[in-house]
Amino acid sequence: MAAPPSRPADDPQHAQALQAALAAQGLRCAVAWTPETASTNADLLERVRSGNCALDPQLRVAGHQTAGRGRQGRPWLDGERGSSLLCSLAWPFAPGTPIAGLSVAVGVWLAQNLHALGVSGAQLKWPNDVLLQNRKLAGILVELADTAQARWAVIGIGLNLRTPPEWPEAVGLDACGLRASRWDMLRLLAPAMLAGLPIYAQTGFSPWAEAWNRLHAWRGESVAVLDHGERHAAGLALGVDDQGCLLLQTPQGLRRVASGDVSLRRTADLRTTTPS
């Protein structure tokens, strides 16, 4: 079991300690803490687009977001303060680097580190969610900013430390008896991301395809791919390929679906849920 959540007054010190710990591992990354912001992704996108920053990774951690968002512009609601890990990592790739499958790879790193904390039930839902007890534990949003010097990927992560009672479709780490702070999670996740991203830049998603398929929550289930609420494809979810595309077994044969801006639903759930 991880240590109890830290006091809010300790958060700036935890941010400094995390940056120092990363540096001691040879991982260069500026770590910044803010008690409240509109969106950590928006903050970092604005910063890297301004050109007034070094070509170094930057991690921004927030206590509360007033305008957090997920894919397709949907809001990310983080509940009471301190109940979620809210952070974004800005990573500079070489200009023009393709990033197909990046959010799928980040899902693997996040799920693996949840398992390391004892959350053995964490599974992956393509393309960008982590599930626990078949409810949403975490979501990932990757956004791009191209400058003359770099293709910046801003990787946003929202993870429920405590179950939000007002959202029955969501779950927190407390559901499996884990009392963890945002810093407990980041001490594992930040090094994993900073070590994985240079490999991803060279190889793409393929080194993590097997791990993703082992963590696949809906393998063999009947699913539908939705594009802004409209059914785009349907079939049995087989897993992902080496590029992070979803493999669907359809009546017409095997179909590959790129993540793009689509979402996935189990066919049986379509009558009772809305896209997310």
Q: Does 13 reside within a domain?
A: yes
Q: Are residues 12 and 102 in the same domain?
A: yes
Looking at residue 27, its pLDDT comes to: 97
Beta carbons within 8 Å of 20's beta carbon, 6+ residues apart: none
Q: Are residues 198 and 223 in the same domain?
A: no
Q: Are residues 116 and 252 in the same domain?
A: no
Q: Does 275 reside within a domain?
A: no
Q: Which of 213, 231, 246 is the endpoint of a domain?
A: 213
Q: Does 2 reside within a domain?
A: no
Q: Are residues 126 and 85 in the same domain?
A: yes
- Structural domain span for residue 206: 8-213
pLDDT string in tens for the chain (276-residue length):
444 445 666 999 999 999 999 999 999 999 999 999 999 999 999 999 998 788 999 999 999 998 766 555 565 556 565 689 999 999 999 999 999 899 999 999 999 999 999 999 999 999 999 999 999 999 999 999 999 999 999 999 999 999 988 888 999 999 999 999 999 999 999 999 999 999 999 999 999 999 999 999 999 999 999 987 788 889 999 999 999 999 999 999 999 999 766 789 998 887 554 444
pTM, two decimals, is 0.90
For residue 118, what are its two tokens?
Answer: 């004892």
Q: Are residues 234 and 203 in the same domain?
A: no
Looking at residue 274, its pLDDT comes to: 46
DSSP letters spanning the chain? -PPPPPPGGGHHHHHHHHHHHHHHTT---EEEEES-BS-HHHHHHHHHHHT-S-SS-EEEEES-BSS-B-GGG-B----STTSEEEEEEEEEEPTT---TTHHHHHHHHHHHHHHHTT-TT-EEETTTEEEETTEEEEEEEEEEEE-SS-EEEEEEEEEESS--TT-TTB--GGGGT----HHHHHHHHHHHHHHHHHHHHHHTTGGGHHHHHHTBTTTT-EEEEEETTEEEEEEEEEEE-TTSPEEEEETTEEEEE--TT-EEEEGGGTTT----
Beta carbons within 8 Å of 230's beta carbon, 6+ residues apart: none
Looking at residue 167, its pLDDT comes to: 86
Domain count, the chain: 2
Looking at residue 276, its pLDDT comes to: 45
